[in-house]
Structure 1
Amino acid sequence: MSAPDDGPPSRDGFARWITGRASWPVLAAALLVYVLSAGRMLGVRRAGMDNAVVVRAARALLEGASPYADKRFLYLPGAVFAALPQAPFGNATLSRAVPFATAALVLAGVALALRIFDVRADSRLAAALTAGLGLFLPFQSIVHLGNWTAASAVAFPAALLLALRGRWTAAGVTVGLAVALKPMLVPLLLLFVLARRWRALTWAVALPAAISLAAALAMPRPGLFLTKTLPFLLHGQDDYAAPFDASWTAVLPRLGVPHHLAFVLAACAAAAVLAVARLRWRRGGDEALRLVECGALLMLAAFLVSRPSFLHYALVIVPALVASVVVRGAAARSVWFWMALLPQLAGVSWPELGSARRHAFKDIVMFTGMAAVLAVSAWRSRPRTARTVTVSGAVYSLSSDPGPRDPSEMR
């Protein structure tokens, strides 16, 4: 009779327990919370409105008009063709289907994030993460909007999982395809630079460029993207989106900081986070943890300075960071990591921050808090030096024990 699988031997008691198989009632309850959270959006006005903008652009293309005539369409040209399969369906049908489709994409991202750390999909951690997302305001936001950030929430852990398995070129292709739909994962290109994976970087850059160029040539007046859409994006969109923007450049002026100073502070913060990402990569350690934390730092650097930076962007990195809790020394094991996420718990009322237009003040705490926790963790960590050496088949310890040991005893 074989012993139960307790996971990698480096896991401690907590990790072995939380990665163990959950009972089916627990799994069913977690999935029910998740589905009900997505289902409650069916009664919400304008459900799936971000997806509706992309579908409207696809319909405009079919009618011979330019998708970029609509100032709300802010995606790359490839997204227009990706939305064409939705064009024949009515708005009422899409508003009912899109919340569940978005939730399914996020759940797929969760499964991939767990796979990075060899965690079962039926584990206690999987159940806790699934139920927790159902109560997580960024999840409720993305399901309500039907935002295509959900594709990046799948591509981010997928790319890291491929990189972990040594398939860097496939990781580059994955990032490139995601960027072709929405340039959310552009900061992740720096991960290929840090790893010196130039072929993967080439794919990640060339693929969206080729797709965007081909799609632009197939639509009327593609130049509107450069003359209308791009300036609109660089300006941080408009007054409608500004209250929901959680970047430093948007929130600090609302607190009385001059715009130019806010930009300088945001740029300095982003540069510091990028420096920490480089430090985290050089520190090494558990490879899965290094990929996840370094990738998260790169994304957070962009969230702090770029406009806009919305609440649901957190879903790109949070599942993988939470999954990393199984590794000793992970930043997710710090209580401060969870404190940064606490304001995003649904159903908890925060004085003066209850309205949607004030939510950005909680969001900036989340993004800044996660970046700070990851930075402190990277700064405190030290490269691990091997404590054993092998000479002629015998293993010797670098500790005070002078005697050689049998290799079987060192497992």
Structure 2
Amino acid sequence: MAVPDSLLSAFRPRTSPSTAATVLRSALWPIAILSIIHRSYVLATNGYITDDFGPVYRAVVNFKMGWDIYNEHFDYVDPHYLYPPGGTLLLAPFGYLPVDASRYWFIFFNSVAILLAAYFLLRLFKFSLASVAAPALLLAMFCTESVTSTLVFTNINGCILLCEVLFFRWLLDGKVNHQWLAGVAIGLTLVIKPSLAPLLLLPFMNRQWRALVPAVAVPLLFNVAAWPLVSDPMNFIRNTVPYIFSTRDYFNSSIQGNGIYYGLPMWLILLLRVIFGLLAVGSLWLLYRYYRERDPLFWMLTSSGVLLIATFLVTALGQGYYSMMLFPFLMTVVLANSVIRNWVAWLAIYGFMTMDRWLLGHWPTTGRALEYLRITYGWSLMLIVVFCVLYYRYLDAKADGRLDDGIDPQWMTPGRQRASVEG
């Protein structure tokens, strides 16, 4: 059988020096592909102690059989089924398959969703699959704790990420009718869980009203349709909703969750929540005031990062693998106005994205603190970095007189004084 010439050309001697981009693509693509296969096929099918899909499968089977769904005992630490009736209806097809087949298809759909999210994210930033950015992004995504845990625990977050990226894509492409599609995309995530609900503030601030209508209508319609089909819908209100709004002290990286776990006084927990809430508000104001019209892509994705991180920190629940919703924000590193082109930001990113375990066998107390607090510290440090970078730019622009007319599109670009910090 003849070997394709395109394959042979990869092994022939070079007639000219390879460019840096060619070398990087050659190195990154095989590593990225094997990492994807390893996470989605090997680790995910092996599973782990935590099984987020188990409660989902039990719920959709009970839904099919007409049995009670919202009857769990929340005193146990095991994963619980917290999706509303609309989410149960949306996931109902998985209840018509054997458990193993259902789980493997769930992993497959989430893996494909993450890959599609990466592709649309590349297109949002004007990169092609032929660029170095493609394998670099895929490798970066599949080497994080958030993507790995999503697949290994068999969680729905891969599909949530895809809908988030589509939400941004349709809001930013300049086509008014696509705002309806953006609302549908984020509305589908709200049928399952409210993780991305804070992002609705962005089309509201940007006066993209069309996106808000389906964002509210889609989860409402799914829940109205599912309500009479679920045998115990009121138990969701009586039992599940109070648990959702409670604060658990396990698998919870929010300020309140870790504060309760380590026994901090409530006044200190409240103070920390207020401080980081104010940092987020300050950052959002600076972004809205000076970037919304001058750099819409940077404004929307950076604001999304601030909104989500503040939600993870300040509300009752912030789980580590929620960090995968920050990939659109992290991609802003390629933009000229990026606030994360400094080593402090990437120290924060390491904290909430790394797969490294910091448990210490000889010093268990220290190791547990490093392991359980690194995500909280990472999110907290990132909010501090974003606010400081934006505020120092504001002070520089004000000192240089670039705020006088308010129309200079370059006024908030990183100044020469801070090039060594932000460049």
The alpha-carbon distance between structure 1 residues 278 and 169, as it changes in their structure 2 partners (threshold 3 A), is farther
Whether 1:360 and 2:383 are equivalent positions in the alignment is: no
Aligned to 2:77: none
Highest RCO, 1 vs 2 (Cα 8 Å, sep ≥ 6):
1
Deviation string 1:138-192 (CA, Å, 9 cap, x unpaired) is 2221111112222221122211111111232321221112111221111011112
The letter of the residue matching 2:381 is G
Task: Name the TM-score, length of structure 1 as normaliser.
Answer: 0.80
Superposed displacement of residue 371, structure 1: 2.0
Report the Cα distance in structure 2 between the residues aligned to 1:128 and 1:141, rounded to whole angstroms: 20
Instruction: Give the 3-state SS of the residue equivalent to 2:250 in structure 1.
Output: helix
Aligned to 2:76: none
The alpha-carbon distance between structure 1 residues 264 and 212, as it changes in their structure 2 partners (threshold 3 A), is farther
The alpha-carbon distance between structure 1 residues 183 and 322, as it changes in their structure 2 partners (threshold 3 A), is same
- Which of 152, 176, 180 is matched with 2:191 structurally? 180
Superposed displacement of residue 260, structure 1: 4.4
Percent sequence identity is 21
Superposed displacement of residue 290, structure 1: 1.0
- Which of 53, 56, 59 is matched with 1:54 structurally? 56
Q: How many residues align?
A: 365
- Which of 266, 276, 292 is matched with 1:259 structurally? 266
Report the Cα distance in structure 2 between the residues aligned to 1:275 and 1:354, rounded to whole angstroms: 34
Instruction: Give the 3-state SS of the residue equivalent to 1:282 in structure 2.
Output: helix
- Which of 293, 316, 325 is matched with 2:325 structurally? 316
Contact in 1 for aligned 2:359/2:367 (Cα 8 Å): no
Report the Cα distance in structure 2 between the residues aligned to 1:276 and 1:347, rounded to whole angstroms: 30
Of 122-131 and 345-354, the range deviating more from structure 2: 345-354
How large is the RMSD of aligned CA atoms in angstroms?
2.7
Report the Cα distance in structure 2 between the residues aligned to 1:312 and 1:245, rounded to whole angstroms: 10
The letter of the residue matching 2:283 is V
Superposed displacement of residue 248, structure 1: 0.5
Report the Cα distance in structure 2 between the residues aligned to 1:230 and 1:281, rounded to whole angstroms: 33
Report the Cα distance in structure 2 between the residues aligned to 1:342 and 1:386, rounded to whole angstroms: 32
Of 305-314 and 259-268, the range deviating more from structure 2: 259-268
Aligned to 1:249: 256
The letter of the residue matching 2:408 is T
Aligned to 1:77: 85
The alpha-carbon distance between structure 1 residues 296 and 18, as it changes in their structure 2 partners (threshold 3 A), is farther
Report the Cα distance in structure 2 between the residues aligned to 1:253 and 1:212, rounded to whole angstroms: 33
Superposed displacement of residue 105, structure 1: 1.9
Report the Cα distance in structure 2 between the residues aligned to 1:213 and 1:115, rounded to whole angstroms: 36
Instruction: Give the 3-state SS of the residue equivalent to 2:340 in structure 1.
Output: helix
- Which of 132, 143, 151 is matched with 2:159 structurally? 151
The alpha-carbon distance between structure 1 residues 18 and 292, as it changes in their structure 2 partners (threshold 3 A), is farther
The letter of the residue matching 2:44 is M
Deviation string 1:331-388 (CA, Å, 9 cap, x unpaired) is 232222211122443346464589789743111022112222222233234576058x
Report the Cα distance in structure 1 between the residues aligned to 2:20 and 2:211, rounded to whole angstroms: 34
Aligned to 1:405: none
Unmatched segments (≥5 aa) in structure 2: 1-18, 74-79, 395-405, 411-423
The alpha-carbon distance between structure 1 residues 172 and 18, as it changes in their structure 2 partners (threshold 3 A), is farther
Aligned to 1:202: 213
Report the Cα distance in structure 1 between the residues aligned to 2:357 and 2:48, rounded to whole angstroms: 22
Unmatched segments (≥5 aa) in structure 1: 1-16, 388-411
Report the Cα distance in structure 1 between the residues aligned to 2:163 and 2:37, rounded to whole angstroms: 22
Superposed displacement of residue 276, structure 1: 1.8
Whether 1:378 and 2:378 are equivalent positions in the alignment is: no
The letter of the residue matching 2:45 is L
The alpha-carbon distance between structure 1 residues 205 and 272, as it changes in their structure 2 partners (threshold 3 A), is farther
Deviation string 1:229-256 (CA, Å, 9 cap, x unpaired) is 001111125xxxx221000111123344
Report the Cα distance in structure 2 between the residues aligned to 1:169 and 1:300, rounded to whole angstroms: 26
